[in-house]
Amino acid sequence: MDNEIETTVVIVGAGPGGCLLAYLLARSGIETILVERHATLDREFRGYLFQPLALDIFEQCGLLESVFELDHERVSRPEVVIYGRPYATIDFEALGGAYDYALLLEQPPLLKLLIERAAEYPTFEYHDRLPARDLLYEGGRIAGVLATDRRTGEAVRIRSRLVVGADGRYSTVRSAAGIDPGRLESKLDLLWFKLPADAVGEVAQARFDDTGLLLYFGLGGGEAQAGWFIPRGSYADLREEGIEAFRERLSTVDPGLDGVLPSALRSFEDCSLLRIEPGMSERWVEGGLLLMGDAAHIASPVGGQGNVLALADSVVAHEVIARVLSLDPGDGPLAACALSRYETRRRPAVGEVIDAQRRAERLLAALVLYGGRIPRPIRKPALRALFSLAPRTHAAKRTAELFAFGPETVRVDGMWFDQEEPEHSSERRV
């Protein structure tokens, strides 16, 4: 690799949003480099849920048939089990729409698919093991990124007209730009771990009992991803009690896990702590810079909105970037005022989703933190009545529609595509 590269757009971070944006820009004939810090696309404890809006976006891009070919699970009515009795949290079939289900899909195959499709266009390059470590400034303006080639240890300068920070909640690009992430306080943390898929009775559900709240997503042939909500800052106390005590709590909530936990959860090293810190960065664009996904707005895990928000960001960002470049064919950084349409469009929509997540999170926090204070003879029937009646309310239906379809219509603007998508022989598999 040359120590200096020039391109039009450099995208930092190969998550769903960054990969889809790279594909859309490459298909639009825009020189694009996508860089990823890791050697592989495999990640632990990434979001696996893709709502109907995500499926609609893939369909508009001509990618949905290929997505269906990846191993996935179809989810129509995810449930929550309260003291052994199941209740639907959302009924995608009742909501209508072109897709009346969500997909549970591991990210690495999807990311590989998006990169492979982008690589079919000559304007795209992908570089792994190339972490961005700082922004490149020239004449006081953002002019690209400074990276390190992990293969050689050498510094690499990537000059560009636009840097897209798609590098997650701990974004290096956002930090280098001095942008505050705007994190909001939460009363909960989430402890993630893996279980055998056949140990999980339903594709996606949560379980609540006296000892706590367990969330899990089945992933078909391999593993299930599980999460245990704990009071914020209490992880050290949980570890102090020991892994056996933790396994006993989990078995109390779901007795079906008793036989698999000793081998699946051998120690706390098999767990990963996720800080629930939703937030909205103070700004998403500057001259030569655009933030998207968790780099711009940190989603709560409640409702599994992180993936679909990033995908919607990429669709809007593609249209804005393509339009700005068509009006400004020069060689300097793209102007903040021209990029601001992206933030103007997406910030209210994302804010509406995060507000809904926060409302749902407060209910979860009340269950985890205060549920045990209510006498059990009252708590059990009260919670069952709550989860039986709440989904029928107007507010719950509105939240379900918001989480399924998003707060706004998102359309892929194909007028910017430089050429048609190459034909791919595939057999639809749902």
| Mean pLDDT score across all residues of the chain | 90
One-letter amino acid of 373:
R
Q: Which of 198, 251, 257 is nearest to 223 (CA)?
A: 198
* For range 48-75, the mean pLDDT: 94
pLDDT of amino acid 427: 42
Q: Is the pLDDT of residue 201 over 80?
A: no
Please say whether the beta carbons of 311 and 120 come within 8 A: no
* For range 152-174, the mean pLDDT: 96
pLDDT of amino acid 82: 86
* Domain boundaries defined on the chain: 4-183+278-365+381-416, 188-231+233-275
Residue 84 structure tokens: 């052994």
Q: Is the pLDDT of residue 49 over 80?
A: yes
Q: Is the pLDDT of residue 36 over 80?
A: yes
H or E, element range at 198: none
4-183+278-365+381-416 carries CATH number 3.30.465.10:
no
- The number of CA neighbours under 13 Å toward the Cβ of 41 is 20
Q: What pairing do the DSSP bridges indicate for beta strands 132-138 and 141-148? A: antiparallel
Q: Which of 80, 364, 111 is nearest to 217 (CA)?
A: 80
Say which CATH architecture domain 188-231+233-275 belongs to: 2-Layer Sandwich (3.30)
Confidence tier at 109 by pLDDT (50, 70, 90): very high
* Burial tier of 298 (Cβ tally within 10 Å: 0-12, 13-18, 19+): buried
Q: What digits encode the pLDDT tens for the residues 88-104?
A: 888 888 898 889 999 98
Q: Tell me how far apart the alpha carbons of residues 362 and 377 are, in angstroms, rounded to a whole number.
A: 23
* β-bridge mates for residue 224, sequence order: 195, 218
Q: Is the pLDDT of residue 203 over 80?
A: no
Confidence tier at 426 by pLDDT (50, 70, 90): very low
One-letter amino acid of 124:
F
> Could you tell me which residue, 84 or 99, shows the higher pLDDT?
99
pLDDT of amino acid 215: 87
Confidence tier at 428 by pLDDT (50, 70, 90): very low
Q: Which of 121, 131, 105, 153 is nearest to 30 (CA)?
A: 121
Q: What digits encode the pLDDT tens for the residues 347-377?
A: 999 999 999 999 888 888 888 888 777 887 8
Q: Is the pLDDT of residue 81 over 90?
A: no
pLDDT of amino acid 185: 86
Q: Tell me how far apart the alpha carbons of residues 212 and 380 are, in angstroms, rounded to a whole number.
A: 13
Least confident of 133-142, 341-350, 367-376: 367-376
* For range 243-272, the mean pLDDT: 92
Least confident of 5-9, 202-206, 215-219: 202-206
Q: Tell me how far apart the alpha carbons of residues 426 and 406 are, in angstroms, rounded to a whole number.
A: 29
CA angle 223, 228, 234 (to 5 degrees): 140
Q: What digits encode the pLDDT tens for the residues 296-309?
A: 999 888 888 999 99
CA angle 345, 349, 354 (to 5 degrees): 140
Least confident of 36-40, 76-80, 133-137: 76-80
* For range 157-164, the mean pLDDT: 98
Please say whether the beta carbons of 286 and 174 come within 8 A: no
CA 219 to chain centre: 16
Query: Which residue carries 């655009």 as its tokens?
Result: 290
Residues of the chain with pLDDT > 90: what percent?
62
pTM (predicted TM-score): 0.92
Q: Helix (H, G, I), strand (E, B), or coil: what is residue 110?
A: helix
Please say whether the beta carbons of 92 and 52 come within 8 A: yes
Q: Which of 193, 30, 48, 29 is nearest to 109 (CA)?
A: 48
pLDDT of amino acid 220: 54
Q: Tell me how far apart the alpha carbons of residues 203 and 73 are, in angstroms, rounded to a whole number.
A: 7
